Chain A
Amino acid sequence: MTREELQNSLPDLAPGATFEEGGEWLNMNVTAESWKAVSHALKFTAGFDFDYLFCLTCVDWKTHLTMVYHLTSTTHRHNMVVKIKLDRTKPEVETVCDTWRTAEFHEREVFELFGVVFLNHPDLRNLILPDVWDGFPLRKDYEDPINMIKL
């Protein structure tokens, strides 16, 4: 599907979703509450088949956090980006690792570096950092006087 076709047909799968102008691929904003159902629909609805999650990350905007999911379909070869705005003090979103299994690793990485809690994740522990670590290194306000080199 082309970008316009996706934009026209996606509101059926994700009610209340908003779309952003610009960018290389279609950007869709959904709420954290609806993400579980939407992710399932994106992967398993015929015609969409977004079965390949190739990038999962988070951006700290100082006022809020944004989860960013890059999806593609290996059958139709269309791409899209899903974004979820999260509260910075209590960021919580449902896990998608039962839909795309690679998310289990990526979510653990985001959990420790950004502090986003993924609900119903089977094994939400630190993957990279030691078990005891204060703060979330990739957040903008993180300070480490010893290890951080400021240029």
Chain B
Amino acid sequence: MIEEVATTEQGDLVINIGPQHPATHGVLHLVITLNGETIKKVEPHLGYIHRSIEKMCESLSYRQFIYVTSRMDYLSSHINNHACAMLVEKGMQIEIPERAQYIRVIMDELTRIASHQLWWGAMGMDIGAFTPFFLAFREREMINSIMEETCGARLTMNYMVPGGVMADIHPNFCRTVKEFITHFKSKIDEYDTLLTGNVIFQNRMKGVGILSKEDAISFGCSGPVARASGVKCDIRKLYPYEVYDKVNFEEILATEGDSFARYNVRLLEMRESMRIIEQLIDNIPEGDIQAKTKAVLKLPKGEFYTRIETARGEFGIYVVSEGGTTPYRIKFRSPGFSNLSALDHMVRGQKLGDMVAIMGTLDLVIPDIDR
């Protein structure tokens, strides 16, 4: 995997990891300067799958641009779509029916669980434990099947439309979701037994890659990465959207800021997501699934910003509209990009082997960073 070995004038070793490397979870290229086994500097090189989605969106209509965002953070594609739909609704002041709000939130939380499950499996594999990957995918498959039944797709759902959701839920939806929750509740304890309490695992994770609260704020971190450092940044709590102000759930916070804290925050978030779904699944109101919207959507002249909590953190969309059918300029504030900016600071002085554990807990999805 090491492509090229070079030394600097001080005798430090410079190695390339990636762009094709299993530990980088995608086509991320890192140039690492090493002194012995200690990391002196990490420079990420991006752009291997940059598609310039922001430029593409400038020629897409407000109904079309939703579908491109599924391809950014493909693990929270549903939440990305949600953000886009919310942006159009905010700009055009569309009130969406309550039934659609409930469906959206349940789907969001299912997506969050699925994303965290995949991260948990990959995290174990990063450190050399193979079993978690298979266990995580076993449970994730159930969520994918639920999604497939209602949305018709397993990964890039495209279930959101401005004004609501595209189709009504499948008649089996409530039953399968409840079955999944019951099943997963016993399995998540298994996750804890298998990995969380493991001494070898804890030794690899504790005290590694510490990010202080001040640094987390300064680096613009969000999501579980920032919450593990004690920053209150859950958009669902701070700026509640849809029905998040009606449900009880905790914002998971930790103070240690190390890899193990980030690991724990995500595991507990899965439990909180299940709590949210449980409160909503029996109470989905009857009614419309879409508000009436015009065939051609036009955002009024001005600037709009929406934010949403994806599995990785705060996802924001900044749109400059000239009043036409397409955005004049659109900017996606992706959580991964800001979180990655903290990587260099976190790994300096750590061992090369620990970098994998640190990168794993950042939960990077490269299309999200490259856009």
Interface residues, chain A, with chain B CB atoms under 8 Å away: 22-25, 27, 51-55, 57, 59-60, 68, 70, 74, 77, 81, 100-102, 104-106, 109, 127-130, 137-138, 148-151
Contact in complex: B47, A102 (CB < 8 Å): no
Contact in complex: A55, B318 (CB < 8 Å): yes
Please give me the residue from chain B that is nearest to A126 by CB atom: B47
Expressed in whole angstroms, the Cα–Cα distance for A61 and B265 within the complex equals: 43
Task: Count B interface residues, CB 8 Å.
Answer: 42
Instruction: Verify if B329 is at the interface (C-beta below 8 Å from A).
Output: yes
Which residues of B sit under 8 angstroms from A102, Cβ to Cβ? 218-221, 338, 341-342
Please give me the residue from chain B that is nearest to A52 by CB atom: B217
Expressed in whole angstroms, the Cα–Cα distance for A80 and B338 within the complex equals: 19
Q: DSSP majority for the A interface?
A: loop
Within 8 A of A (CB), among B284-339: 302-305, 307, 314, 316, 318, 320, 328-329, 331, 333, 337-338
Contact in complex: A24, B304 (CB < 8 Å): yes
Which residue in A68, A101, A130 is a CB contact (below 8 Å) of B318?
Answer: A68
Contact in complex: B331, A23 (CB < 8 Å): no
Which residues of A sit under 8 angstroms from B302, Cβ to Cβ? 22-23
Contact in complex: B220, A54 (CB < 8 Å): yes
Which residue in A54, A100, A101, A130 is a CB contact (below 8 Å) of B316?
Answer: A54
Instruction: Verify if B185 is at the interface (C-beta below 8 Å from A).
Output: no
Contact in complex: A51, B318 (CB < 8 Å): no
Contact in complex: A101, B329 (CB < 8 Å): no
Within 8 A of A (CB), among B19-53: 44-47, 50, 52
Most buried by B among A25, A127, A150: A127
Contact in complex: B54, A74 (CB < 8 Å): no
Please give me the residue from chain A that is nearest to B232 by CB atom: A74
Instruction: Verify if B6 is at the interface (C-beta below 8 Å from A).
Output: no
Which residues of B sit under 8 angstroms from A148, Cβ to Cβ? 55
Instruction: Verify if B238 is at the interface (C-beta below 8 Å from A).
Output: yes
Expressed in whole angstroms, the Cα–Cα distance for A27 and B318 within the complex equals: 14
Most buried by B among A25, A57, A77: A57
Instruction: Verify if B60 is at the interface (C-beta below 8 Å from A).
Output: yes
Which residues of B sit under 8 angstroms from A81, Cβ to Cβ? 303
Instruction: Verify if B242 is at the interface (C-beta below 8 Å from A).
Output: no
Contact in complex: B45, A127 (CB < 8 Å): yes
Q: Which 6 A-B pairs have the closest CB atoms?
A: A102-B220, A128-B47, A105-B341, A57-B331, A55-B333, A101-B218
Instruction: Show 24 A/B contacts (Cβ-Cβ < 8 Å), sorted by A.
Output: A22-B302, A24-B304, A24-B305, A52-B217, A55-B318, A70-B316, A70-B318, A70-B333, A77-B238, A101-B345, A102-B218, A102-B219, A102-B220, A102-B338, A102-B342, A105-B340, A105-B341, A106-B338, A106-B341, A127-B44, A128-B47, A137-B55, A150-B59, A151-B59
Instruction: Verify if B72 is at the interface (C-beta below 8 Å from A).
Output: no
Q: With contacts A23-B302, A55-B318, A105-B337 known, what are 10 further pairs, Cβ within 8 A? A: A55-B331, A100-B218, A102-B341, A105-B341, A127-B45, A128-B370, A129-B47, A137-B52, A137-B55, A138-B55
Instruction: Verify if B233 is at the interface (C-beta below 8 Å from A).
Output: yes
Contact in complex: B333, A54 (CB < 8 Å): yes
Instruction: Verify if B231 is at the interface (C-beta below 8 Å from A).
Output: yes
Instruction: Verify if B278 is at the interface (C-beta below 8 Å from A).
Output: no
Which residues of A sit under 8 angstroms from B46, Cβ to Cβ? 127-128
- Knowing A77-B238, A102-B338, A138-B55 are in contact, say whether A70-B305 is a contact too (CB < 8 A): yes
Which residues of B sit under 8 angstroms from A70, Cβ to Cβ? 305, 316, 318, 333
Which residues of B sit under 8 angstroms from A109, Cβ to Cβ? 337
Please give me the residue from chain A that is nearest to B233 by CB atom: A74
Please give me the residue from chain B that is nearest to A150 by CB atom: B59
Minimum C-beta distance from B304 to chain A (A): 7
Expressed in whole angstroms, the Cα–Cα distance for A22 and B329 within the complex equals: 18
Expressed in whole angstroms, the Cα–Cα distance for A103 and B292 within the complex equals: 41
Please give me the residue from chain A that is nearest to B343 by CB atom: A105
Minimum C-beta distance from B85 to chain A (A): 17
Which residues of A sit under 8 angstroms from B337, Cβ to Cβ? 105-106, 109
